[in-house]
Every structure is written in C-alpha cells, then in structure tokens.
Amino acid sequence: MYRDKKVVVVMPAYNAAKTLVRTYDEVMQQGVVDKVIIVDDCSRDETTALAKKLPNTIVFTHLKNLGYGGNQKSCYRLALQEDADIVIMVHPDSQYTPHLIPAMASLIASGLYPCVLGSRILGGYALQGGMPAWKYVANRFLTAAENIMLGAKLSEYHTGYRAFSREILERLPLSENSNDFVFDNQMLAQILWFGYTIAEISCPTKYFKEASSINFRRSVKYGFGCLGTAWKFRMAKWNLSNSSLFPKNLPMRTATAPAPVSVAGK
C-alpha cells in the first residue's frame, strides 16, 4: 500500500524465464507493492512455471500468443479485478529499474498526476544504457512529430515503464486498441485525448542480450503505426473524422493539472 492506495505491478511476459525472478525480487524490495500480476503470452520457455512459484502473485497464461498489446489488455483487466488503485507496468526483462516504483506511485497517490512515464531520454540515459543509435534517432523523430500532432511536450512516447491511476484504466477504450506494439502509443494518445496530464520521471535503462527488443522491420511498422495514431488524433480533434480510438460521445476532461513534470531518477 502507498498512502492507503493499493499498488499492483503488472508484468507482460514473453519468454522471460531468464530475468523474471530477478525483476520480481527487485519489485518486491521496494516495499509498496501489494500484488504482482504476471501475464504470460504463450511463452516457449519456463516463464509460467517460474511465475507460479513466486509468492503474492497472480499468474495468467494465454493459450495463444496475443501480442504485446493483447498482453497488456489482460494485465489491466486483471489489475482492475484486484481493486488496484495504482497500476505500474514493469517489463520482466530487467531493462527498467523497479527502484522508481515508489516515486511513480507517489506522483499518482498524491492526486497530481494520473499517469507517470519512466523516460529514458530525460537525463541522457538512453544512449548511456546501450540503446542502439538508430533507435535513438527514430525515437527523437517520432516524439517530435507526435508532440506537434498531439499538442503535448513529452520527452518520449515509447517507454515501456508506465504507471496509471484506476480512473484512467476504467475510462480509456483500451479494447479498441491494437494487440501489437503500437498499443502503447495509442494508449498515451487516448490519455491526452481525454484531457489528462502525463508526468515523466528520468529512468536509467539497460540493453543486454536477454532484454526484449523488436527488430528493425517491426520497428518500422511500429513507427508508421505511431504516426498513424497521431494523424487519427489530429483528424478527430479537427472534427474531420470519427475514430473508435478517440470517441466523441464521452465528455473530455478539462485539463487543470500542471504541465508535464520531470523528476530526477535514482
């Protein structure tokens, strides 16, 4: 618990047996997590078997591979069923440090922000942590384009380290989103569509053999998907199109929170 808020960490897992236990141990060492939910997207290794041995966890295994977005849909559905007040997604590959969990939970529990991102760009951690140069350049280009089209000022849209309030997860039309990697991007665009403010906290990351990463071909597909999402957002804003991702039949919030904040990480 954090300030009487139930904190649930969700781990969308796929072939994560080599790093799952180490990541879980670091998550629980933070002292604020009430439950860990591990969703195994039909791995070919021992991910599910290892997950079932971990205490204070809920393990759910897909009978067929649904994709990264499909995995997250299961994660958030299960977290809401567990009455989570704060949901933090931590990849089980140890790429993002769990040591920032208390800070991310604090920003949401305080009521200041309903969404917090662990940014690899703030503080210059991306290249220091081993991000390939071509991915860094693509990240910078996509982020600049999306900030213009979405009317935001985020340092990046492509981190997998995210924390959400229960309100956001209950309100967003997540079922309309892709089951592929672009789900992440669609979700952030929806958060902005409904007028919520996104905070960012600088996050050191590590790139190594066991860390999950998509190849160049899928990265290109993801990049075009991000631009397509931003275009749909802009067209909906201008009332030039209707999109199930950005529905008009639900009232948009009036953004009253301060602008996105950067908080120094450990």
Alpha carbons 177 and 182: distance in angstroms, whole number: 8
pLDDT value at residue 148: 98
Task: Identify the three-state secondary structure at position 256.
Answer: coil
CA dihedral 231, 236, 237, 238 (to 10 degrees): 90
Structural domain boundaries in the chain: 7-263
Pairing of strands 162-165, 115-119: antiparallel
Which secondary-structure segment (H or E) carries 21? helix 20-28
Transcribe 160-217 into DSSP letters: S-EEEEHHHHHHS-GGGS-SSTTHHHHHHHHHHHTT--EEEEE--B---TTS----HH
The secondary element (H helix, E strand) that includes residue 81 is: helix 67-81
Residue 56: how many other CB atoms lie within 10 Å: 10
Q: What are phi and psi of 44, to 5 degrees?
A: -100, 0
The radius of gyration computed from the CA coordinates of the chain, to the nearest angstrom, equals 17
Report the pLDDT value the prediction gives residue 113, as an integer from 0 to 100. 97
Residue with tokens 């997950």, as numbered in its chain:
51
CB neighbourhood size of 150 (10 A): 21
For the stretch 4-45, pLDDT in tens is 999 999 999 999 999 999 999 999 999 999 999 999 999 999
- State the pLDDT at residue 257: 34
Contact predicate 98/23, CB 8 Å: yes
Residue indicated by tokens 């639900």: 250
Q: What residues of the chain score a pLDDT lower than 70? A: 208-213, 249-266
Report the pLDDT value the prediction gives residue 209, as an integer from 0 to 100.
60
* DSSP assigned state of 112: S
pLDDT tens, position by position, 169-203: 999 999 999 999 999 999 999 999 999 999 999 99
Instruction: Name the class of domain 7-263.
Output: alpha beta
SS3 8: strand
Other C-beta atoms closer than 10 Å to the C-beta of 199 total 23
Q: Please say whether the dihedral angle defined by the alpha carbons of residues 90, 203, 115 and 141, taken in this order, is positive or negative.
A: negative
- The three-state DSSP-derived secondary structure of 32-94 is CCCEEEEEECCCCCCHHHHHCCCCCEEEEECCCCCHHHHHHHHHHHHHHHCCCCEEEECCCCC
